[in-house]
Structure 1
Amino acid sequence: MSDRGVGPSPAIVLVRPQMGENIGAAARAMLNFGLDRMRLVAPRDGWPNPGAVAMASGAGRVLDAATAHDDLPAAIGDCDFVFATTARGRELAKPVMSPEHAMAEARRLVAAGRKVAILFGPERAGLENADIARANAIITVPVNPEFFSLNLAQSVLLIAYEWRRQGGDVVHEVQANTDPASVIEVEKLAQHYEARLEEAGFFFPPSKAPGMKVVLRNMWSRLGLTGSDVQRFHGMLRQLLRDRDQG
């Protein structure tokens, strides 16, 4: 049985899930944050499962598109990079990432056209070493070490939230140009400030002016400005000069 592929978001792979209700709750958590690709590995109570449908509520479309697989290799065979979620330290030598770091890496991989999957273990004991061995990296949530148990839907929710947050998909009141400013944009900004500072007598004494200008140029280039930042800096300077001229 095949699904639509991982596409522009990771596949959420539930390995040997035990209760249909937990699968449904995981589907709700996924759809809350824009994930809709679920794969199931040997669900204990079979598939489809009426308990999952009842718990999924408005997220039934995630279950409708979910695919069931007999084993983990079949579920992730088309994937290029696999994360395994586990709360415990393991003997296996693999990169260990926080959810934030992992989802930033997932975003990078997906943007490069790679297919990504994230594994979640069964409710009672989590992923086994044999499962984790098939992953490229481990995601560990910094929970209380004296009580590190998370239920399946909670685990999915944490990762799905971080995926959404990393993508900047939240709608802001003001849409800004967050692309990095081009070299020419930064150059024009530097020239604007340099000319106005020259008029104000900032570069004094004249013998130190060249060095002061180099320091300012270096400052602009290392700020990591976006296109919107550049426009704001231009606007602030124009407003200051307008107030001065009108005063």
Structure 2
Amino acid sequence: MTSGKDPNRPSVLGGPTIILVQPQLGENIGACARAMLNCGLTELRLVKPRDGWPNEKAVAAASGADPVLDGAKLYDTTAEAVADLNVVFATTVRTRGMIQEFITPRVAATELRAHFDAGHKTGVLFGPERTGLVNDDLTLAEKLITVPLNPSFSSLNLAQAVLLIGYEWFQTGETPPDRVLHTGQTRPATKAELLNFFEHLEGDLDRTGFFTTPEKRPSMVRTLRNAIERMQMTEQEVRTFHGVIAALTGRRKGEA
């Protein structure tokens, strides 16, 4: 296959941010950057890459996708990496028994395009090569992307997964989306706003004794967060729910 580089042809850039969580090899990061630029994606975020950053092996594997690597941003936690985003999808091979909406890359790309065209900041999470994303990271996403492949051999390497999502994204640019999220005078809540709301809700639930069995608290918190993420709340709705919780806890204190 030829190099595919033609400086005389216009670039088609822009799209969801790609977030690699604890990637293990610099070569894999570079291959992901190459796959991203193939599909016009340029925003790369890295959460605690195992072999450090910057990484010379990533540059070699990127095969010229240096703009993606040069602009990559480094984060300590997944929550920090998605804090400013309005819409986040995550990739996973297994359903893990989670109560969550699972969609294909094609459906995900169509929905991401609708959000992107509406001016919302979007992102897609990819987990470590061997283990994938942990459940706490998956709860940061509204929806989970699974790739329908041979059930007996469905594993992909990291760059393959990024390329599949990126390709479907790129194809959506050829036709207008069928679905657009209308948010009126407000906007979709950022992940930072949602995480702040989760802390408010979970803190009050702790104080009222809702979590009666300590060892079950993590799974109950994930269930609550998954349910709320599926709502795709706006910034105004988050503020309203803050007020609802404050009113309920205030009334309870007044009655005591």
Query: Given the alignment, which residue of 49, 53, 69 partners 1:47?
Result: 53
Note closer, same or farther for the CA distance 1:30–1:98 as it changes in structure 2 (3 Å cut).
Answer: same
Aligned to 1:64: 70
- The runs of 5 or more residues in structure 1 that have no matched partner are 1-6, 170-177, 180-247
Is 2:34 the counterpart of 1:28?
yes
Give the root-mean-square deviation of aligned CA atoms: 1.9
TM-score (norm 1): 0.65
**1:193-232, aligned counterparts within 5 Å?**
none
2:23–2:49 Cα contact (<8 Å) kept: yes
Structure of greater Rg: 1
What is the rounded CA distance, in whole Å, between the counterparts of 2:121 and 2:14 in structure 1?
A: 8
Q: Give CA deviations for 1:93-121 in whole Å, capped at 9, x if unaligned.
A: 12111111111000001111111110011
- DSSP 3-state at the match of 1:135: coil
Query: Given the alignment, which residue of 121, 126, 130 partners 2:136?
Result: 130
- Number of residue pairs aligned between Structure 1 and Structure 2: 166
What is the rounded CA distance, in whole Å, between the counterparts of 2:14 and 2:59 in structure 1?
A: 25
Is 2:96 the counterpart of 1:93?
no
2:31–2:61 Cα contact (<8 Å) kept: yes
2:15–2:116 Cα contact (<8 Å) kept: yes
2:30–2:62 Cα contact (<8 Å) kept: yes
What is the rounded CA distance, in whole Å, between the counterparts of 1:48 and 1:118 in structure 2?
A: 21
1:8–1:111 Cα contact (<8 Å) kept: no
Deviates most, 61-70 or 160-169:
160-169
Is 2:160 the counterpart of 1:149?
no
What letter corresponds to residue 121 of structure 2 in structure 1?
Answer: K
2:22–2:128 Cα contact (<8 Å) kept: yes
What letter corresponds to residue 130 of structure 2 in structure 1?
Answer: R
What is the rounded CA distance, in whole Å, between the counterparts of 1:165 and 1:43 in structure 2?
A: 30
Is 2:89 the counterpart of 1:83?
yes
What is the rounded CA distance, in whole Å, between the counterparts of 1:84 and 1:10 in structure 2?
A: 12
What is the rounded CA distance, in whole Å, between the counterparts of 1:74 and 1:89 in structure 2?
A: 25
- DSSP 3-state at the match of 1:159: helix
Is 2:160 the counterpart of 1:160?
no
What letter corresponds to residue 34 of structure 1 in structure 2?
Answer: G
What is the rounded CA distance, in whole Å, between the counterparts of 2:135 and 2:153 in structure 1?
A: 21
Cα offset for 1:8?
4.7
2:20–2:45 Cα contact (<8 Å) kept: yes
What is the rounded CA distance, in whole Å, between the counterparts of 2:34 and 2:90 in structure 1?
A: 20
Ranges of 4+ aligned residues in structure 1 off by more than 4 Å: none
Aligned to 2:122: 116
Give aligned-pair identity as a percent: 55
Query: Given the alignment, which residue of 11, 17, 22 partners 2:17?
Result: 11
What is the rounded CA distance, in whole Å, between the counterparts of 1:93 and 1:152 in structure 2?
A: 25
What letter corresponds to residue 143 of structure 1 in structure 2?
Answer: L
What is the rounded CA distance, in whole Å, between the counterparts of 1:47 and 1:75 in structure 2?
A: 15
TM-score (norm 2): 0.62
What letter corresponds to residue 87 of structure 2 in structure 1?
Answer: F
Q: Give CA deviations for 1:163-222 in whole Å, capped at 9, x if unaligned.
A: 0001118xxxxxxxx89xxxxxxxxxxxxxxxxxxxxxxxxxxxxxxxxxxxxxxxxxxx
What is the rounded CA distance, in whole Å, between the counterparts of 2:136 and 2:66 in structure 1?
A: 31
Note closer, same or farther for the CA distance 1:55–1:8 as it changes in structure 2 (3 Å cut).
Answer: closer
- DSSP 3-state at the match of 2:63: helix
